[in-house]
Every structure is written in C-alpha cells, then in structure tokens.
Amino acid sequence: MARVLCPECGTRAAGADAFWGHEKPYCSLCGWNIPAAIDSQRALLRQFQIALYLVGAFFALLAIFARDRSTLIAFLFLSAVLLVACLLTRKKLQTLTRRQTATASSPASVVAAKEKTLRERTAALERVRSMPRPRRVRLKIVPRIISVLFPLSWVFILFFGFQFFGSNGQNTGAFPDNGLLLFAVLVPAAWTALCVWILGRARRDRRLLTDGEVSRATISSQWMAGSRHPVSKIAYSFHDAAGRPVQSEVTDTSRSLYEQMEVWAFYDPLNSARHVLAPCAYCELQDA
Ligand SMILES: [Zn+2]
C-alpha cells in the first residue's frame, strides 16, 4: 500500500496490507477513519468465524464417517490457521476500539496539527487555482513509457512479422497454421487496444489538467472490489463553479485515497461530468 497520511492531522496513518488481505488505514493520533477500520475488521472476523464453523462441521463429519484418517490432519491444520486468524483479528478489533475511546478527546497538540493541515491544504488548492492557464502538465510514468514503447513495438512487430511469415511461406509453400496466425494477430491487437486506451485517457486528462476548472473533491467511501486481482474503488463528490453537485465512483489506481480525504478534481467547465481526480489522472501538474 502507498504511504498514507492522515487527512486531518498529517500524521502517517497506521494499518497496512495484512498477509490475508487489505486493511483500512487509520490515524492513532486524532482517530481519523477508526470507525471504518473497525467495520472492516468486524466484517473480516465474521468471514473467519463462518469459515471456521464450516471447516469444523466438515471436520466432525469426516471424523465420524471417514475411513482414511490422514485427511483429518489437513483439516485440523486448516482449523488451527483459521482459529489463529480469528484471534488476531479480535485482538486488532480490541486495539482499535481502545484507540477510538482514547482519541475521543483531542489534546491541544492534535488540534494545532489539524489546523496546520487544513491551512496547508487550502493553500495548496489556492496555488493550483491561481496557476496561469494553460497549466504546465507532464505524463505520469506509465503513459510516458507506453508513448515511447508503443511506436517502437510496432516497428518490432512489423519487422519480425514480415521476416517470419515471409520466410515461412517461402520455405513450406503454405501459410503458417491457424493457431500461430491467431496468436500473431491477437497479441498485437490486444497490446494496441491497451496502449490506445491508456494514451486516449492521457490525452483527455492532459486537456482537463491544462485548461479545466479545479475544485476540491471529498472521498466519501473506499472499498476493495474483485476477488482474484482486487482493486481499490472510491466514491467521491465535488461542487462545480456553478454550485452543481457531482458524484461519481472510480478505481483508485494510486491506492492512496480513503474516507474524508480531499483531492483536486479537474473538470470541463461546460460539462462537469467530464472530470478527473488528480491522483487518478494519467498526467500531473509540473509546478504543483
Ligand atoms: Zn490524524
């Protein structure tokens, strides 16, 4: 997980990716996001408990009916792992609840840290607002690499494609088999589609960051989606210059955005539905 700073007081947030999954970051100094962290730990504990009951029930059935006792050892091991996971999650939950109580009354130092963070955030937004347009923008690292790699890869594909299929055709007198042909067409096609999509997004983001209006967007919630390759999704909202509310959801590729955080939204003044959050854009401001 990327380094996460508390949006309230600027302290480095606690909580990180545990070995069994993703955990919510929280601030142990001012209490930011502790309720969300407690909710996610409770959900995790419920999952572990259900898994433990199921494995336990299956283990009991096997113990009664199975002739081969060796499978029992595997189930015993699985139950032990789940039990340890349950105990660790419960302990974490207790720690979080204690911290929530402890941070309920903020000492003067925390109040001062919160005020300082708010001042810095407001100053940063004003700095971006006052930048002369067109703002100076550069591509982020992934689209920058792709913008170089994409034309080069096509030189490579055409050169070796002609060589391979040309010589193959001459040697055998026939065109190569269907599987190879499919591979030779599908792989460059998928690669091209991916590059064109990323470069298209980068072009749109460049336009929005260069000339778009800027507003402060607030993240209302964050959750993980997808089981095999989970991605971080966020819901957010902001108001455009005319005061119209804009609400949307997006995949947070930066993996650094959580509840109550504020980021810049760059939007088309004629249509605020066309917008991008600065951390999720494929471009970034050069002078920010
Ligand atoms: Zn904090």
In a domain, 14, yes or no: no
Distance 96 CA to ligand 1 centre (A): 14
CA of 278 to the centre of ligand 1 (A): 22
- Tell me how far the alpha carbon of residue 34 lies from the centroid of ligand 1, in angstroms: 10
pLDDT score of 228: 81
Q: Give the model's pLDDT for residue 176.
A: 58
> Residue 158 C-alpha to ligand 1 middle, in angstroms?
55
Whether residue 215 is contained in a domain is answered as yes
pLDDT of residue 126: 87
Same-domain status, 182 and 237: yes
C-alpha of residue 28 to centroid of ligand 1, in Å: 7
pLDDT value of residue 14: 86
CA of 257 to the centre of ligand 1 (A): 15
- Asked whether residue 275 is domain-assigned, the answer is yes
Could you say which of 95, 124, 153 is where a domain stops? 124
**Per-residue model confidence (pLDDT) at position 168:** 60
Final residue before a domain boundary, out of 99, 124, 149: 124
Name residues of the chain where pLDDT drops below 70.
1-2, 16-22, 167-177, 288
Distance, in Å, from the CA atom of 32 to the CA atom of 117, rounded to the nearest integer, reads: 13
- Residue 164 is predicted with a pLDDT of 74
Q: Are residues 67 and 183 in the same domain?
A: no
* Position 29 in a domain: no
The structural domain count of the chain equals 2
Name 277's bridge partners: 265
Asked if residue 152 and residue 118 are part of one domain, the reply reads no
Model-level pTM? 0.78
Extended beta strands in the chain, E state: 137-139, 213-225, 231-239, 245-251, 262-268, 271-277, 283-285
The pLDDT of residue 4? 85
Rounded to the nearest angstrom, the distance between the alpha carbon of 113 and the centre of ligand 1 is 8
Same-domain pairing of 175 and 56: no
Cα 198 to ligand 1 centroid, rounded to whole Å: 35
* Structural domain harbouring 117: 34-124
CA of 283 from ligand 1 middle (Å) equals: 29
Alpha-carbon 240 to chain mean position: 25
